[in-house]
Structure 1
Amino acid sequence: MTMPVIELRDVSRAYDEGPPALQRVSLTVQAGEAVAILGPSGSGKSTLLNLVAGLDRPDAGTVTVDGVRVDGLGEAGAARYRRSKIGMVFQFFNLLDDLTVADNVVLPAQLAGTARGEAHRRASELLEILGIGRHAGAYPGRLSGGERQRVAVARALMNRPPLLLADEPTGALDTAAGEDVSRLLSDLNADGQTIVVVTHDIGLARACTRRTVQLVDGRIAADLASEPVR
């Protein structure tokens, strides 16, 4: 039996004096799955994302991603883990406005020590695949929101991560651009990319994932399989 890409076992996390953000959450995501983590504000979605990304540590339980015990990593180890194991796409793109599109995409490979020529070949390939190769020399501020999110996806895929995390990836986009990005995520998953989308948008979850995990008050309230709506 193959090892899951994500395995959380009895994970809990609390902050200050408030109620726990996560309470004994166990979750497994297999290679090739597209999973949406749904829930309102305060349900624990962001905490779960941060734990999987190695940006936070649980108070109890274990977090394993692609064979790496993420909860046991130090700061330097967590940084290496993020470079090699995950790609992240954010609501507000997080692109560097003073770098060209190509240089934004190349950045993760440079941080990982990839040779310059190889990194630029990979960036060019990704930009062409994602339909924005003509913008390689442009600056992000000249692009539409949907185009900027495609650049962000290219950057996230630069180091061929086994896991792509998307945090409200259509939240800052208009309806047409949001539908475009959701189709892109669905197409990436169809090509074998494991994807976890964190969102409050049921429509996005239905459009680009085949499984929805509903969080309520830090606990998994439902875990349902479905077919994406095209």
Structure 2
Amino acid sequence: MRQHIAGQHIAGQHIADDAIRFDGVTKIYQAGAPAALADVSLTVAAGEVAAVMGPSGSGKSTLLNLVAGLDKPTSGTVTVAGLRIDTLGETALARFRARHVGIIFQFFNLLDDLTVADNVLLPAQLAGASRRLARARAEGLLEQLGIEEHRDDYPARLSGGQRQRVAIARALVNSPELLLADEPTGALDTATGQEIGRLLRELNAAGQTLVLVTHDPALAQRYAARTLQLVDGCLVPSNAAVPA
């Protein structure tokens, strides 16, 4: 079953290109075991914000890993940012991730022995970007996200919301077409989680494509144009009852 998230108008222009396309994607980790994803076909339009929901073990993390090129399908094709990534080798996949995908994690995944500024700069350095341009981009993001005064601090000195803002800046430093957020508010209190949710919505309003994995129906309803529901590795209609 194919689910499509329609393009939206951004800055007066209709965005129609697919940021993500799955065609008959199945992922089996172990012979004889149930498929983590089973014959999933979907498209997400560029400039769209999509939420992915489902109970534990439903295939959400597998879907995100396939989009990020961290895993490969057993069968089917995965196209992201116009690139067929399921056929790429590891070196090409690493280059693809550095240039096209930013990832935000539930528990931030910041390096404690690096300053805020150096955490944000790290993906740009790994991608071989000009240090001068990368520093300018990082400084701009820290200012945009309201944490520029913490550029020389270490992550342990920051609040959860501040650390998540650093993680968002790090994910955006290479100007990726696609931003993947895995439970981005799961480790935050309600008020801070809403603050991060609003920030993600602002990024999307500026044209950033976003895929949001969450257990929180309110977060999905508030910030996503549409929700993709996964159950036992299969897409189900968004209005279908989903087990907890």
> Are 1:192 and 2:207 matched, yes or no?
yes
The match for 1:93 is: 108
> Are 1:75 and 2:90 matched, yes or no?
yes
Separation of aligned partners in 2, 1:3 and 1:202: 27
> Are 1:56 and 2:71 matched, yes or no?
yes
1:12 to 21, 26, 36: 26
1:83 aligned partner, one-letter code: A
**Would you identify which runs of 4 or more consecutive aligned residues in structure 1 move more than 2 Å?**
none
Structure 1 gaps, min length 5: 225-230
Separation of aligned partners in 1, 2:227 and 2:25: 19
Sequence identity percentage? 62
Matched residue of 1:9: which SS? strand
1:9 aligned partner, one-letter code: D
2:18 aligned partner, one-letter code: P
Alignment of 1:94-113 (within 5 A): 94-113=109-128
The match for 1:127 is: 142
Matched residue of 1:5: which SS? strand
Structure 2 gaps, min length 5: 1-14, 240-244
The match for 1:31 is: 46
1:207-230 alpha-carbon deviations (Å, 9 max, x no partner) = 221110011111110247xxxxxx
CA RMSD of aligned residues (A): 1.2
1:203 aligned partner, one-letter code: A
Indicate if the aligned counterparts of 1:182 and 1:208 stay in contact, CA closer than 8 A. Answer: yes
Deviation (angstroms), 1:3: 3.0
Separation of aligned partners in 2, 1:138 and 1:33: 34
Separation of aligned partners in 2, 1:25 and 1:15: 16
1:112-139 alpha-carbon deviations (Å, 9 max, x no partner) = 1112111111100000001111111111
The match for 2:234 is: 219
2:180 to 160, 165, 170: 165
TM-score by length of 1: 0.95
TM-score by length of 2: 0.89
